[in-house]
Amino acid sequence: MKILVTGGAGYIGSHTTLALLEAGFEVVVLDNLCNSSDAALHAVEAICGKSALMIRGDVRDRALLDRIFQEHAIDAVLHFAGLKAVGESVRKPLEYYDANVGGSLTLCQAMAAAGVFRLVFSSSATVYGEPEQMPISEHFPTGTPTNPYGQSKLIVENVLRDLCAAEPRWSVALLRYFNPIGAHDSGHLGEDPNGIPNNLVPYISQVAVGSLQELSIFGDDYSTADGTGVRDYIHVVDLADGHLKALQSISQRTGLNIWNLGTGDGYSVMQVLRAFEQASGRPVPYRVMPRRAGDVAESWADPSKAARELGWKATRSLQQMMTDTWRWQSNHPKGYQG
């Protein structure tokens, strides 16, 4: 089977491309490299001895998409391409709606024209807003995301729901990721954010490696066990495996399917920090700051639907996530640049 992976040079896309190649799929990557470099795909090739075909281009480029579908017998699309920085989305809403909503619309139009109806979409737990109860199940109502990034994910989910209702040939997986972290255990494929990281684990690991001075903990007055925010961190390799299972499943059915991809366990900022210190053997200095606008106190998944329907379960522990992050960060203190 041949799979088109948009955003395949990025953090989650490159780990999933590796998993696809290892499982025997042929992979065509479409990525404009606006937040990545093709070094990630070179690392994939070095790890598994197989390579994806890399096409540098934009998912909003309809003519390019038409050409790709003409030249390759694509069976399904995994759609990772998009912009993901929450704070930046508040400052640049048009860019975010254009890339995330516009890109998804153009992709679906090109897929329909080419007769390709299998799609796995990277959604996010952010679409749940602020649920009243934990853990979060797929049947919970979606909330009102507090930023354009989250809105763009919810809009695309709604577009895909309407599309499946209108045209029974579509077979779509909406994968709602919780907090992907970690790196491949080779230590040569990992997360390489541009500039100062927004997310907790990349920030902590850059403090540990000496690139940043100290972590700001955004609030220690939440009603959680130690007062810091709680999230469901999931290893990126488990997440990649979830995509393969979703792909298998949508190849055997049509319609819209929603699956949470999380572990079902919540860990606080302080627990993550301590686990990272243990894995790296380095202290991570921190300072408690006010809460970050838009953050929820806690969020963790009920992953039982994916277990039941996909036969998928995350298997890697928090300590494993920290060990793998540190191996990647200490091997590559400046990411793919060094």
Asked if 138 interacts with ligand NAD (CB under 6 A), we say: no
At CA 176, angle to CA 175 and CA 177, rounded to 5?
105
Catalytic residue among 97, 128, 149, 203: 149
Is-contact 150 125, C-beta < 8 A?
A: no
Report the distance separating Cα 3 and Cα 133, nearest Å.
37
Residues 218-247 that bind ligand NAD (CB under 6 A): none
**Binding-site ranges for ligand UDP (CB under 6 A):** 179, 198-200, 203, 215-218, 229, 231, 269, 292, 295
Q: Which is nearer to ligand UDP, 111 or 335 (CB)?
A: 335
Q: Which is nearer to ligand NAD, 282 or 292 (CB)?
A: 292
Q: Which is nearer to ligand NAD, 34 or 288 (CB)?
A: 34
Is 159 exposed, middle or buried (CB count within 10 Å of its CB: 0-12, 13-18, 19+)?
middle
- Taking CB positions, which residue lies at the least distance from ligand UDP? 229
Which residues make Cβ contacts (< 8 Å) with residue 67, sequence separation at least 6?
none
Q: Among this protein's residues, is 149 annotated catalytic?
A: yes
Report the distance separating Cα 1 and Cα 182, nearest Å.
28
Asked if 32 interacts with ligand NAD (CB under 6 A), we say: yes
Measured between alpha carbons, how far is residue 283 from residues 23, 270, 286, 329 in Å?
39, 13, 9, 15
Q: Mask 143-172, x = binds ligand NAD (CB under 6 A)?
A: ------------------------------
Q: Which helix (H) or strand (E) holds 233?
A: strand 233-235
Residue 177's binding partner among ligand NAD, ligand UDP, none (Cβ under 5 to 8 angstroms by kind) is ligand NAD
Please state whether beta strands 179-181 and 267-268 pair in parallel, antiparallel, or not at all (unpaired).
Answer: unpaired
Q: Which is nearer to ligand UDP, 218 or 336 (CB)?
A: 218
- Interface ranges with ligand NAD (CB under 6 A): 6-7, 9-13, 30-36, 58-60, 80-84, 99, 103, 122, 124, 177, 180
The set of catalytic residues is 149
